[in-house]
Amino acid sequence: MNKITIINGPNLNVLRLRESVYGGVSIEDINAGLAKRFPDVDFTFFQSNSEGALIDCIQAQTGADGVIINAGAYTHYSHAIRDALAILKCPAVEVHLTNLWARAGEFRHKSVIGEVCRGVISGFGADSYRLAVEAVLQDKG
């Protein structure tokens, strides 16, 4: 069985309460949808608003077949999360619900973690997570 860890960063725990650009879905809805769609995957779901907790979770992924991460705002400036991802032996995929490059605010147009990930999936709403899972499974062959 494939083991995939889904890591969500700051403010994703209150996703449904945020701007309408996020589609009104909750992180719990996304997680439940993934578990239902991929019953043969052993998922671990983790969310934290704390950079250190996210790094600890990434570093603990020694047995994972893949890591999918939506680092939220940390995407744009956390070199510490980037460095933790670079250590992983399994593929990591960066995901975002919205298209970062179409968002207002120049700071949102840069990802410091994407360069150490297998790929970046952005702009497909909750489907970004599904596409990331499919990419990890395909990478495993």
Residue 8 predicted with pLDDT over 90: yes
The closest alpha carbon to 35, from 69, 72, 71, 2, belongs to: 2
Extents of the domains making up the chain: 2-140
Give the 3-state secondary structure of residue 89.
coil
| 121 vs 51: CA distance, rounded Å | 21
CA separation (Å) from 21 to 49, 94, 104? 20, 19, 11
Q: Read off the pTM.
A: 0.90
| 62 vs 26: CA distance, rounded Å | 28
Domain 2-140: CATH architecture, name and number where available = 3-Layer(aba) Sandwich (3.40)
How confident is the model over 60-108, as pLDDT tens digits?
Answer: 999 999 999 999 989 888 999 999 999 999 999 999 998 876 554 665 5
Active-site residue set: 22, 96
